[in-house]
Each structure stands twice: as structure tokens, then as C-alpha cells.
Amino acid sequence: MMDTDRMRPLAVCLAAVGLSCALPTGASAAQRPNRPLLSVGYRSEADLARAVAGGRAEVVRLVPRLRVAEVRPRVDGFAAAARRVDGIRYVERVLSRSFYSEPALFPTTSAGTPYEWQFAATHEDAVPPEVLRAAGAVKIAVIDTGADLSAPDLAAKSPWTYNIFTGGPDIRDVNGHGTFVSSLAAGSVANGDGVAGFGGDAQLLVIKATRDDGTLTDLDESNGIMYAVDHGARVINLSVGGPTSSATEQRAVAYAAQHNVLIVAAVGNEYTMGNPIEYPAALLQPAGSKGRGGTGLAVGASTSDGSRAFFSNAGTQLSLVAPGLDVFGALSSLSSPDEYPRATLPGSTAGLYGYSSGTSFATPEVVGAAALVMGANPFLRATEVATILKETASGHGAWNPETGFGVLDAAGAVARAQGKNGLVVHGLRSGTRFRFQWFSTAATRYRVSLRIDRGKTRVLVDNTTTTSASVTVRRRHRYAFTVDALDATGAVSATTNYSFKF
């Protein structure tokens, strides 16, 4: 598959629009005013070429899938002039994004508390093993500072990797934030070493979206979203944010929603500094929504007693909370010990571990739980997964601005997704063709029967591992399906009925 949204080398990008490839070097660069980088949304590359023609601006890079260019103005008044060019959708400042972690700021948990206390606090430890395995069909994307792939729990996942600036697989994490986030979202639960992530056997895609100096912008974030969606991610972790949004970011979030991908973002750590509304979290769960609706989830941080962590932002844009004060995770070997202090983990054979705090680290716990819900019921849409996570949280359907719908309950969400007997079904009609699907994390084989009106029941498929069948339907008839889940001995372990009238 061609990576059409890849941040290609500058010369390639400029050649695509027929522009000069001159770069600021030497004395000419030193004499140039320090004008801010801009994002230019365009309808066609020809429109972009007209906007920057005559040396008015320098194209730094393109994100073709978003139809956005990052440009450096060379003349005063470029933005106003470019906005008047036909085919230019918008011109706006590139926005900085911050990571919502507070490493080394808080003391470690008291003696006697389990290292991964967040597991029991969210009932993650009560999720059935077969659901952990079923999550292997789901891909989680972490858009962050990269990851240390020598960490045992990440190495065991053999993650896909992508650097949006180089277009290659090098995602070395000198910061440490991305490693910690990735370990919480998708650290291996089956390698017998280190820590365990919330996503069971979920696949992991790590996208490094930070520059060499560690900075991240809305354009970098948006490019990461596009890449994740186009490469099969079902749920995306964004432990980043800032006080304003942009058209570029909004388009990327909308792209994910259109492709049935769930984005989960941190609400921020500035409660004691004015409690601002932060983005992209407030794009996913809009301000004023009181946790209802939205296209994704905005996550705050909770303490061991389920209350809001003192730094965690609050407000009508909050969906739910998850443990974020003094949580335990994997550390990058390239990170600073001053920023991410090391803690001894008895019994571990390799890797580095420690405690950290922030809504950054509450977010991947919800991301992992979302992957479990998707594994338990693959027929759910992204918005339905988000609703289940909110409705099964500790608030039992009641919302408040401090903790949203309450603390994440991973086991409760999985149980809701599975239904009464763990056998879920789904039907979709297109004209006179009806596609019927079924799934159970516990079954090894299935038997599916069909009865039309009051006719005789006939077996469609028997003793099969397949999970779908198509039939031709006619108007003014009732169709009743029965699905039997069979265990290893061939005995019926669960039965579910599904009927409709066409």
C-alpha cells in the first residue's frame, strides 16, 4: 500500500507542486525575519503553487491525504494574501502540542501496594483470558515520542513502527513518554516478564510524531492520525494537547470518525493553572456535552480511591477517568533518570520500570480497554465502544464534571459488550442480500439454523469455524436465526436468537 500521507523529503514535496526547492542557508537565512510556520489547506497542488508563487513562501512539507502544506512565509502579509487565492481553504498558525505527563513529580506508591495497582482499580484483572486473546484482532496506534523496543513487554509485541519525518521505522524514544504510554496501552500480558498493558494481545503500531528537539505540532499529530487510520488502527492514543484547535486537526479527527476509528485523548494536567479546555480532547467530547455523544473519549486521571487527581482538568468535556497518579509502567533506556526515575521490579529479568503521573497515562489504559471491548464484540462501531466504556464506568451512568462517568471498569465494559451469554450476533441487509455474522471468544465452532415464517428450521452451517453467512431474503417474510456456540467436545455452550421481518 502506498503511503500517500508520508512526510516526504522536501525536494520531492516541492517537485510535486512545481516549486523552487531553495532552502534558507548561510547569511540569507540569518537575515530572514523569524516568521512563524503556517498550515495551508488547499484543494489542489496547483492552488498551493499559486499561493506561494513568486517566492512568497517556502513549502517545508506536504501531507497529501489532508491536503495541507506546512509553509514558511518569506514576505510580510503572506497569510492574508494566500487566503484570497482561489482553492486555498485556510491559512493558520501551526500549533504546539504538549505531553500530559508529570514524570518524577510525585512520590511512589506506599509499601504494600501492588506495582500495577491500576489493574485492580479498573477491574482489568477480572477480564476473561479468552477476551485478552481475542483483542489480538485489534490494532492500537500510539502517536507519541516513539518507543524503546528493547523494553521486554514492547519487544514481545513486535510492533509496527513509523517515523512521520523520516518515513522509516526508527522510533527511538529519547524522551520516555511514548514508551511509558505504549506499555500501558499494549504491553504484553503473555511474556511472563515486566508489566502488563491494558490491551491484552492487541497489536501495536507506534508512530513517532516528535521532531528532533522533542516538539510536536497539530500538523504532526494530524499526520500521525491519518497514517494510523490508513494502516489499520482501530483505536488511537493521543496523550497530547493544547489550548486551541485547528482546521487541520479537525479534519484528521473527522477522517478517523468517518473510518470508524476510535480516538482517545487526554484532557490535560492544568487544573491548578486555570483548568483550561484542551484539544484534541474537546473535539472528541465537546465542551458542554457533559460526556454525552461525541466521536471519541476525553480522559482524566484518577487516584487510588477513585477521586480526581488534583492536576487533572475537569469540565463538561470530560468522558471518564482512569488511574493516573503514580501508575507503574516501562521506561525507555534512553530517557533521563531525572525525568523518569527508575524503580526496582522484583522478578524482572530485563527492562527498566518506574512510576509516573498524568492524564497522559490514564489515556492508554482506556485505549487498551477499548481494544478489549472490540475484541469481545467485533461488530461494535467506534462510537458504541465509547458509549459502553462510559456507561459501565464507576458512575453507573451518572456524570459529573470532576470524574465524568467515573473510573474505567474494563471487566464491566467487556461484559456489556459480550451480552448475556458471550455470543454476539450482527446482521446487515443490502437489497435482497442479508449478511449474518456471529462471534464468541469462548467457542471453537458454531451451528447456525434458519427458520422462515412458520416453516421448518433448517441448518445453514454446522460444526463450522466460519463466522458469517449470506442469504437471499424476500419481502413480507420473517427470518429467524439461531446460533449455537459449540465447545471443544461439540456440546452447545451458548445459544443466541436473531430475527427480523423484511
**Catalytic positions, written as ranges:** 144, 177, 360
**Which residues fall within 8 angstroms of residue 410, CB to CB, at 6 or more apart?**
122, 123, 124, 126, 127, 198, 368, 369, 372
Q: How far apart are CA 64 and CA 461, in angstroms?
A: 46
**Residue 266, all three cell numbers:** 487526554
Position of cell 501492588? 114
Say how many residues make up the chain: 502
Q: DSSP assignment of 22-70, as one string?
A: ----HHHHHHS--PPPEEEEESSHHHHHHHHGGGTEEEEEEETTTTEEE
Contact between residue 250 and residue 224 where contact means Cβ atoms under 8 Å apart: no
421, 496 in Cβ contact below 8 A?
A: yes
Sheet containing strand 68-73, strands side by side: 57-63, 68-73, 38-42, 88-93
- Please report, in angstroms and rounded to a whole number, the separation of the first and last CA atoms in the chain: 39
The answer for residues whose C-beta is within 8 angstroms of residue 163's C-beta and 6 or more apart is 146, 169, 170, 171, 207, 208
Distance CA 3, CA 50 (A): 26
Fill in the DSSP letter of residue 194: S
What is the identity of the amino acid at 354?
A: G
